[in-house]
Amino acid sequence: MKRLIVMPVLALALMLTAPMPAWAQAPAEESAQDALLPITGAMAAVTARFDGQIVAAELQPGRPEDMTDIVYAFRLLTARGDILALRVDAMSGQILEVDGRGLVDARRRQN
């Protein structure tokens, strides 16, 4: 009697753990999270262009003028004590917008 119960349970367990055939799976689509640039990469882009220390970072949805779906928003404390607000494309790492007092002084020279 026990054997009659164990066999169907075992068969069901094997069916549930078996991989699904390829035709039964949805097409693999890269999600937005998989394509995101790591925040350390975006921080490196900011600190390469501007002298200062990042004091805040946030992942935000892109605005229409950003022309991207998702951005990193940073606050950078400059050596003179000013705060810069920066928006960086979370996919490419391109700096989209910089705003704040002391912007010109905080820029690193490009060689």
CATH, residue 36: 3.10.450.40
Q: Say if CB 90 and CB 68 are below 8 A apart.
A: yes
Does 38 fall in a domain? yes
* Domain residue limits at 85: 32-106
Does 23 fall in a domain? no
Read off the tokens for 69.
């779906």
What is the structure's pLDDT at 11?
55
Does 99 fall in a domain? yes
**Number of domains forming the structure of the chain:** 1
What is the structure's pLDDT at 109?
83
What is the structure's pLDDT at 111?
62
* Percent of the chain residues past pLDDT 90, beyond the cut: 63
- Please identify every stretch of the chain with a pLDDT value under 70, giving residue numbers as ranges: 1-34, 111
- 71 burial via Cβ count (<10 Å: 0-12, 13-18, 19+): buried
What is the structure's pLDDT at 74?
98
Does 25 fall in a domain? no
